């Protein structure tokens, strides 16, 4: 961890601790580093936004106790949230960051949760933008004859090595060409989808569909067209142009009812998969909206949360991307 980041951590911890001695700060930083090197989970990112769960709190407090034997479990929810936030920030800034961490942060923002450390959302925005361009970088296709095997050499090993090297170059070239074709296919498919003005899954014009159904359907269809994660930023411009002005809001439970009739209901559930979780509860309870609302509320969701329809399609895309994150 860099010296600058250590200073940031000290500033974040100050409101969450009665005293921050150098010894305590060192222990807190060790816990943050350990969390940052662990596999990202929904619970950890939720904790970084003030949403405490048993799993998230346990993960953070265990690392705090390992770094500081004097740490008292259950001492402070604020401390847990700030330490989790610092760990997530470190994940976003890692040399080889996981785009799923950024998706989880965006999902927390979709839920209306507040980041525990300033700049988490902005850092996630930067990572998504950078990686969406990086995975679509056009690598030049170069043909190389390589070194020819000397057929006069008696050593078969030398000839075999030369053949293997040639095969590898061919495989690499084919892989590169296939990737370039996939990149082109993705862009063309998304553009044609945007120009069609019609849902390819239902055959119905977008303009004639209920706004909430339109948003969820568009997210599902785009998921089927996106090959590389995260989506390129132009996708969202196409999405806005295709769907038109989606004014108004819908409650989370209403979105869950609509999504329960789609592939969204087969996603995993979790604190940062609100639409998928609502859809699955509706399915599990045989369409009983009232009971599903009660269960969702018990699990920390607000089933009556008013969600802007403009944000729904992007969240559906996001939940497909993070459905395998525990």
CA distance 108 to 47: 10
Task: Give the pLDDT confidence score for residue 230 in this predicted structure.
Answer: 86
- CA–CA dist 134, 56 (Å, integer): 31
- Report the alpha-carbon distance of residue 117 to residue 36 in Å, rounded: 15
Would the CA dihedral through 14, 18, 19, 24 be positive or negative?
Answer: negative
Please tell me the predicted confidence (pLDDT) of residue 247: 83
Q: Is the confidence at residue 143, as pLDDT, over 50? A: yes
In tens, the pLDDT along 31-87 reads 999 999 998 899 999 999 999 889 999 999 999 999 988 888 887 899 999 999 999
Average pLDDT of the segment spanning 287-309: 94
pLDDT grade, residue 280 (50/70/90)? very high
CB neighbour class for 166 (10 Å; exposed up to 12, middle 13-18, buried from 19) = middle
Q: How would residue 90 be classed by pLDDT, with cut points 50, 70 and 90?
A: very high
Instruction: Indicate the pLDDT class of residue 234, thresholds 50, 70 and 90.
Output: confident
Q: pLDDT averaged over the chain?
A: 87
Q: What is the mean pLDDT of residues 234-240?
A: 84
Q: How far is CA 139 from CA 44, 174, 181, 225, 235, in A?
A: 36, 12, 12, 22, 21
Residue 150, strand partner residues: none
Q: The tokens of 322 are what?
A: 């993070």
Asked if 291 and 241 touch (Cβ cutoff 8 Å), the reply is no
pLDDT of residue 1: 67
pLDDT at 157: 67
Least confident segment among 142-151, 158-167, 192-201, 263-272: 142-151
Give residue 141's pLDDT: 63
Q: What is the pLDDT of residues 103-138, one digit of tens each?
A: 999 999 999 999 999 999 999 999 999 988 887 777
Q: In percent, how much of the chain has pLDDT > 70?
A: 92
Note the pTM of the prediction, 2 decimals: 0.84
Strand ranges in the chain using DSSP code E only, listed in sequence order: 249-251, 306-308
Q: Based on the number of CB atoms within 10 Å of its own CB, is 29 exposed (0-12), middle (13-18) or buried (19 or more)?
A: buried
Please indicate whether residue 139 or residue 182 has the higher confidence score (pLDDT).
Answer: 182
| pLDDT above 70 (res 227) | yes
Dist CA 260 CA 57 (whole Å): 30
Which stretch of 238-252, 272-286, 300-314 has the lowest confidence by average pLDDT? 238-252
Q: What pLDDT sits at residue 149?
A: 47
> Taking the CB of residue 55, how many other CB atoms lie within 10 A of it?
17
pLDDT tens-place string over residues 172-210: 777 777 878 888 888 898 889 888 889 989 899 988 999
Q: Could you state, in order of their start, the residue ranges of all structural domains in the chain?
A: 3-134, 197-321
As a whole number, mean pLDDT of residues 201-221 equals: 92
Q: 142 pLDDT band (50/70/90 cuts)?
A: low
Strand, coil or helix: what is 198? Answer: strand
Average pLDDT rounded to a whole number, residues 131-160: 65
């Amino acid at each position: 961890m860099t010296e600058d980041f250590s200073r940031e951590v000290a500033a974040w911890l100050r409101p969450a601790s009665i005293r921050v001695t150098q010894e305590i700060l060192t222990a807190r930083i060790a816990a943050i580093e350990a969390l940052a090197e662990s596999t990202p989970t929904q619970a950890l990112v939720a904790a970084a936004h003030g949403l405490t769960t048993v799993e998230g709190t346990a993960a953070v407090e265990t690392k705090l106790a390992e770094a500081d034997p004097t740490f008292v479990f259950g001492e402070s929810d604020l401390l847990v949230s700030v330490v989790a936030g610092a760990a997530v920030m470190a994940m976003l800034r890692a040399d080889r960051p996981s785009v799923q961490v950024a998706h989880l942060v965006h999902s927390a923002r979709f839920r209306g949760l507040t980041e525990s450390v300033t700049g988490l959302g902005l850092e996630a925005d930067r990572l998504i933008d950078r990686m969406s361009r990086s995975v679509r970088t056009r690598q030049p296709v170069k043909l190389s004859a390589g070194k020819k095997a000397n057929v006069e050499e008696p050593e078969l090993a030398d000839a075999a090595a030369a053949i293997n090297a040639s095969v590898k170059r061919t495989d690499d070239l084919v892989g590169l060409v296939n990737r370039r074709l996939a990149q082109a296919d993705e862009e063309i498919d998304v553009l044609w989808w945007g120009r069609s003005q019609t849902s390819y899954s239902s055959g119905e014009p977008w303009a004639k569909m209920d706004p909430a159904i339109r948003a969820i359907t568009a997210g599902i269809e785009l998921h089927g067209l996106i090959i590389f994660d995260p989506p390129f930023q132009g996708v969202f411009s196409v999405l806005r142009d295709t769907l038109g002005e989606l004014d108004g809001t819908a409650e989370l439970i209403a979105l869950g009812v609509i999504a329960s009739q789609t592939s969204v209901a087969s996603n995993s559930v979790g604190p940062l998969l609100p639409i998928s979780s609502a859809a699955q509860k509706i399915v599990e309870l045989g369409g009983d909206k009232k009971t599903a609302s009660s269960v969702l509320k018990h699990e920390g969701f607000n089933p009556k949360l008013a969600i802007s329809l403009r944000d729904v399609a992007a969240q559906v895309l996001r939940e497909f991307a993070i459905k395998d994150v525990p």
